[in-house]
Amino acid sequence: MRIVKLHTTDSTNDYLKSLAKEEKLEEDTVVWALEQTNGRGQMGTKWSTSSGKNLTFSVFRKIQQITIDQQFYALMAASLAVKDVLKKLLIKNVSVKWPNDILSDKKKICGILIENVIKKGELNAMIIGVGLNVNQTIWEDVPKATSIKSQTGIHFDLQEILNLLLEQFHHYVKMLLDGNLDTIKKEYEAHLFRKDKPSTFLNTNKEQFVGIIQGVTDQGRLILLEEDNKLKEYDLKEIQLLF
């Protein structure tokens, strides 16, 4: 494994993509930045953290054994890896807010962004970007944020947390490559935030409605049981969970 450690970069995902164009990357090349000035989340949202207090890194991984249609399984696997590490660190009430946020006590502690490398119409590799709040305890204009230190009162070494995460990523990558997709999906669904509970959502027309999260499709669409007792599927752009 190769780890490229940077003091500052705009985005570890973007840095890794540029690196992949310049050279043939070895498996599990990691770019880790102490400060990320233009970190991104799903749908172009920003990921902002204090310099040197949190983990912002990206991993390049060849993963040709799964298809483009199965790419959401990689996000599920990465979410479970983070969840496992947080539980090892005795973080309480860890859940996955669909599709890619990890929560502790209903507050965001981690975000994941996966970008695909497509070659000749097939999935060739993935860049897995992770932003994990570790030692930061104060946020401006982010009321629903928390960190490992906020939850435990303990100041952690970033390298140690990174090593734990990479080890757990390897565990789930092996599951992906071995074809244990059903196990990954069941585990992901079991830890979905607000699963099986009536919840309020906002649709694209800014209308609120009530639904009960049942799970996700293989492609990552959220399955809701709605008031008419019918199951409906939604993409990320179509609804927002209010909590």
Cite the beta strand spans of 12-121 per DSSP E: 29-36, 39-40, 46-47, 55-62, 94-97, 101-104, 107-119
Instruction: Name which CATH class applies to 3-190.
Output: alpha beta
Euclidean distance between CA atoms 150 and 134, whole angstroms: 8
- H or E stretch covering 132: strand 122-132
Q: Tens of pLDDT along 140-161?
A: 877 799 999 999 999 999 999 9
Q: Would you tell me how many other CB atoms lie within 10 Å of the CB of residue 68?
A: 11
Q: Give 198-242's CATH code, choosing from 2.30.30.100, 3.40.50.10420, 2.40.30.110, 3.40.50.261.
A: 2.30.30.100
- Which residues, other chains included, contact 18 with Cβ-Cβ below 8 Å and sequence gap of 6+? none
Query: Domain coordinates of the chain in residue numbers?
Result: 3-190, 198-242
Q: Is 3-190's fold the same as 198-242's?
A: no
Q: Tens of pLDDT along 19-60?
A: 988 888 877 899 999 988 876 555 455 555 677 899 999 999
pTM over 0.85: yes
